[in-house]
Amino acid sequence: MLKFNYRNADAMVVGEANGLNIAQEFDNYKETIASIIADLNKRKDKPGQWLQWMNLGYSEETIWYAKEFASMVENRFENILVLGIGGSALGGIAVTEALLKPYWNLLSAEERNNFPRIFFLDNIDPDTMQGLLNVLDLKKTLVNVITKSGSTAEIMSQYMILKDMLEKELGDDYRKNIVVTTDKNVGVLKQLADQEGYKTFIIPDDVGGRFSVFSAVGLVPFALVGIDIDELTNGIKDMDLALKNTDIHENIAAQNALIHYLMDTQKGKKLSVMMPYSSRLRYVADWYAQLWAESLGKEYDKNGNKVNVGPTPIKALGVTDQHSQIQLYNEGPNDKLITFIRVENFDTTIEIPNIFEYTGIGYLGGKTINDLLNAEADSTKVALSDYCRPTLTISIDKITPYSMGQLLYMLEVQTAIAGELYNIDTFNQPGVEQAKNYTYALMGRSGYEDSAQQLQEKMASV
């Protein structure tokens, strides 16, 4: 299991002004938390609650179909190209970066055990898009178009470009190089996929984009590149079982959610930093930033009161950002709660050779890079507490499919519990929809003529 250590967020360590009396707060919120957890588990199967992501670990069917598809196309493709953005890409990027061998796309086919390379096109910068298309042999590329809404302008444009290019290269056979992951009803992509006869995976109802990593959105690309999705889902299921515990003393997602909530609302820690001490986990911080920001950043609470809540997520990387951000974290405004993610055992141990005796560097010889990394993580944590800066630590024994399932699922549940504490709708994103609608209007989509008119007026007046 993951370990969660909150000692350095306690008033005992960082002082009353910046820390919480955590044991006391756990007692104060014991009943509130128990009823939130019981309520989430009670509501999760009800339509319209957007809690179906809590069942994804148990979806034997999706796991089976993802594996079957992967074995059907085995050895046929050199590359997987995922077209997706936001929740349709960030989880995939986080998990593949964590679980595939580092620099996967630079390895030979043999070193990849003949599994394909994987690319995520999660932006529409024309230069990088063209650059990627220049290096991919499209005949040997399987394009996975992922969009829950089936209409996101960025992804549908990418799809149209890729479809056209594939058709020109492959004639009628282009269809074999496209697989679609989308909603069964919403948007045009499902309709198109049916007409064109693409292999299609459905994102279940009531699973929002940022909570969709364990649906076909993630499982299909993971299976295609050889990630053990059975182990991944075992991690999710075991974590789910643990997080059903309504006792806050036994539930790390609830503890983490409550500490974040109280730090924000009582101690002015409006910024929430996630800092993994592992390059392989750096994109977990990206995925989490979206999960936290879109879920908790809300204008209204559930009772319609204007609240404008939500801690601002920040991503950092240990040790790299010790040399860029830590100065600010130690001495700048004391407005942050920092969560370290620590890996106890790396796959590799690298020894530093004993080749110099200079006093300035000789001490490093005979140690390992692993020792250095862990020493830096420990000293940064202690230095922060010397400056009365609260920190939390999540420890993972090893980066494996099982521990990644556990970690991401725990963070999802933590987000849902935090949303209940803020009393907001965790699962909507009106602030994202607004800009999406303006884009449709600007690009001339029919049905958006009024917005286009308003937008032109607003732009003219700036």
Binding site for ligand PA5 (CB under 6 A): 85-88, 147-149, 152, 155, 208-210, 294, 429, 432
Least Cβ distance, residue 175 to ligand PA5 (angstroms) = 21
Q: Which is nearer to ligand PA5, 84 or 401 (CB)?
A: 84
Least Cβ distance, residue 209 to ligand PA5 (angstroms) = 2
Cβ atoms of 264 and 329 within 8 Å: the answer is no
Least Cβ distance, residue 82 to ligand PA5 (angstroms) = 12
CA end-to-end distance (rounded Å), the chain = 54
Q: Which is nearer to ligand PA5, 36 or 189 (CB)?
A: 189
Q: Which is nearer to ligand PA5, 362 or 431 (CB)?
A: 431
Give which of 439, 274, 261, 267 is closest to 342, Cα–Cα: 274
CA distance 281 to 285: 7
Least Cβ distance, residue 427 to ligand PA5 (angstroms) = 9
Cβ atoms of 366 and 354 within 8 Å: the answer is yes
Least Cβ distance, residue 60 to ligand PA5 (angstroms) = 24
Q: Which is nearer to ligand PA5, 151 or 279 (CB)?
A: 151
Strands 298-300 and 178-182: unpaired
CA distance 434 to 443: 14
CA distance 231 to 224: 15
CA distance 339 to 341: 7
Q: Which is nearer to ligand PA5, 15 or 431 (CB)?
A: 431
Residue with tokens 């960030």: 90
CA-CA-CA-CA torsion sign (102, 103, 105, 109) = negative
Cβ atoms of 388 and 14 within 8 Å: the answer is yes
Instruction: Determine which helix (DSSP H) or strand (DSSP E) holds 300, and give its type and residue range.
Output: strand 298-300
Strands 298-300 and 271-276: unpaired
CA distance 338 to 393: 8
Strands 271-276 and 312-315: parallel
Give which of 232, 400, 376, 383 is closest to 317, Cα–Cα: 376
Least Cβ distance, residue 207 to ligand PA5 (angstroms) = 10
Question: Partners of 27 in the beta sheet?
Answer: none
User: In 390-424, which positions are buried (b, 16+ CB within 10 angstroms) versus exposed (e)?
Assistant: bbbbbebeebbbbbbbbbbbbbbbbbbbbbbbbeb
SS3 state of residue 426? coil
Q: Which is nearer to ligand PA5, 151 or 368 (CB)?
A: 151
Least Cβ distance, residue 426 to ligand PA5 (angstroms) = 11
Give the chain's radius of gyration (CA, Å): 23
SS3 state of residue 376? helix
Least Cβ distance, residue 11 to ligand PA5 (angstroms) = 35
Residues labelled catalytic: 294, 323, 436
User: What residues contact 168, with CB distance under 8 A and at least 6 apart?
Assistant: none
Q: Which is nearer to ligand PA5, 88 or 393 (CB)?
A: 88
Residue 89: burial class (beta carbons within 10 Å; 0-12, 13-18, 19+) = buried
Least Cβ distance, residue 436 to ligand PA5 (angstroms) = 7
Q: Which is nearer to ligand PA5, 29 or 287 (CB)?
A: 287
Cβ atoms of 155 and 88 within 8 Å: the answer is yes
The residue at minimum Cβ distance from ligand PA5 is 209
Q: Which is nearer to ligand PA5, 123 or 266 (CB)?
A: 123
